[in-house]
Structure 1
Amino acid sequence: MTDMTEQKSRAATWFHQLRDEIVAAFEALEDSHATGPLAEAEPGRFEVKPTKRTSEDGSDAGGGLMSVMRGGRVFEKVGVNVSEVFGQLGEQAQKAMAARGVPGMADDPSFWASGISLVAHMQNPHVPAVHMNTRMFWTPHAWWFGGGSDLNPCIEYDEDTAHFHAQQKAHLDPHGDEIYPALKAWADEYFFIPHRHRARGVGGIFMDDRNTGDWEADFALTQDIGRAFLKAYLPLVEKRRAQPWSDADKETQLVHRGLYAEYNLVYDRGTKFGLATGHDADAVLMSLPPVAKWT
């Protein structure tokens, strides 16, 4: 297999462009929030910090940007991270790759990975939390894409769920009628919390290890997963952000966030991979909510 330098550069550039678009859209939501709870507060802004991955021998192994907004009018905490990392997989990560069917890792454990990861926890309990990521992974033996997005409301509205899924379906259908149903079913399975016997939220789409042998087609699908996000999510924020909430609503939100924290710490593949490969721990754990409760 070639080193795929051009393809890796195109993928990393795309993830950065998507990051810039989302950050601008979220700051615009903060600026336009003129009525309802917290409308008189200062609009939130992202704090941007470079992240760095250091290999076991201390050499540079890539990094990225961690962009986090805290205490805004609309967003209580939202992170939009991009990364491009490379180096040698450690023994634990090699075993994980081998278990996923990647050959030859013991002979050459080199890897490269780039992606965008987003998690938003909202001020208003009526506005759903949300997660999105897309990524490309490469080794000398294989490459693949992964990612998706899922909605995590603490107070569910059927029409919001329908809109979120409809936008994802509209973006995925051009890639084949079978794609959306397959990725929706995968999300339902993946974003399930076994020890709670329930789903984390109301689902979305998810894929991993995507390699049909046609890099261009798989990259185009990954891009449309990213393009679907703002169209699926922004209208829900705009509709719910000025809705009044009660103390009971906030309590429901905080308890639901506990589910999110449990899932990400126990089951999430991205969390496990980021920590196992030595990436910036603050960036890896950016997804955790600012405040949560357990009953």
Structure 2
Amino acid sequence: FLYFIVGPWLLPPVVGNTHAHRSTGQQQRIHAQLVMSLEVDKSSSYAAAPSNDSAADSAEKAQRKIAVEVRSRLRRFANEAPLTPKWAELVEPLRLVAGVAQQEADRAAAAGPSPTEAAPAGGSQPEKATTVWERDQVVVRVVVEEGKINLLAKSLREFKEAIYACPGKAAPPEMAASAAAYEQSLGYIVRAALTAVECVQTLNLVSLLEHVAMVLARSLEADFNPTPADVAMQECTVIHYLRLVCAQLDRLQSGDSVAAKMAELAIVPMVLKHLE
């Protein structure tokens, strides 16, 4: 029910950007940032393919390097106290991982809808759902293989709780940019992970639903009216979380309990008010 209500309203994925799809120039800037972060020199296969290698070989090497870096950064991710120096060190690694996830989602969207990102016309279910190992999405696969989904979701929830506890329910001015980047990046990584049933099956869905309910309730209290700059913040992104979970309820053993928890938290009425 919720899937069909909110589906048409939802915007395409955004990470720290007010535009739904990146321009070529924006993609090139992300590409360059990743190259610098990986410390690949001009003679490497990522910057210029050696003459004896095919373009396909060069691209494969680049993907392997990106996969290694993504895994390394996600392995080092820790649940640091929000708005502390240790927490601030997590912002840039998360931003780059989210950038990779965004590019992978863009490629997948260009190739056609994934089983959980969109249903065929008429609302029918996809014929086949792929596993994370059959999809060309490194970030999602690493989140599954490293067992990080619960840590990521827990950190996101605790971050929002800390922000709501701040004066004015906002990060201090000197931390505002880092806080926004952290929320946008971590929020998008969680969203990308929820496209994989393997993540949804291992996630503490009760905790996620409580997080969603908290964000929706706070938004309604504040009479939140999103601007284009807000589409990557939790006040908008939690709707995507609900959609992705609801799209996979029939593949979860806990599907009935998830639906019951949503009813207990009055999530559907809050979503309807939120969308107004």
Larger % of strand: which?
A: 1
Using the size of structure 2 for normalisation, the TM-score is: 0.26
Using the size of structure 1 for normalisation, the TM-score is: 0.24
Q: Greater relative contact order: 1 or 2 (C-alpha under 8 angstroms, separation 6 or more)?
A: 2
